[in-house]
Amino acid sequence: MTMIALIDYGMGNLRSVHKALEYVGGRVTLTDAPADVTRADGVILPGVGNFGDGMEHLRSRGLADAVVRAIAAGKPFLGICLGMQMLLDSSEEAPGVAGLGVFRGRVVRFPEGREKVPHMGWNSITVKQSCRCLEQVADGTFFYFVHSFYAAPEDPSVVAASCSYMVDFAAALGRDNIFATQFHPEKSQNGGLAILRSFVGSVGDAAPKQ
Q: Put the strands of the sheet holding 149-153 in their side by side order.
A: 90-91, 105-109, 149-153
User: Could you tell me which residues are beta bridge partners of residue 106?
Assistant: 90, 152
Question: Phi-psi region for residue 205, left (φ > 0), alpha (ψ -120 to 50) or beta?
Answer: alpha
Question: Phi-psi region for residue 81, left (φ > 0), alpha (ψ -120 to 50) or beta?
Answer: left
Q: How far apart are CA 85 and CA 87, in angstroms?
A: 5
Do 104 and 154 contact (CB within 8 A), yes or no? yes
Q: How far apart are CA 73 and CA 92, in angstroms?
A: 30
* Catalytic machinery residues: 81, 184, 186
Which residue type does 38 have? T
Residue 76: other Cβ atoms inside 10 A: 28
Which residue type does 207 have? A
120: helix, strand or coil: strand
Taking the chain, what is the end-to-end CA distance rounded to the nearest angstrom? 9
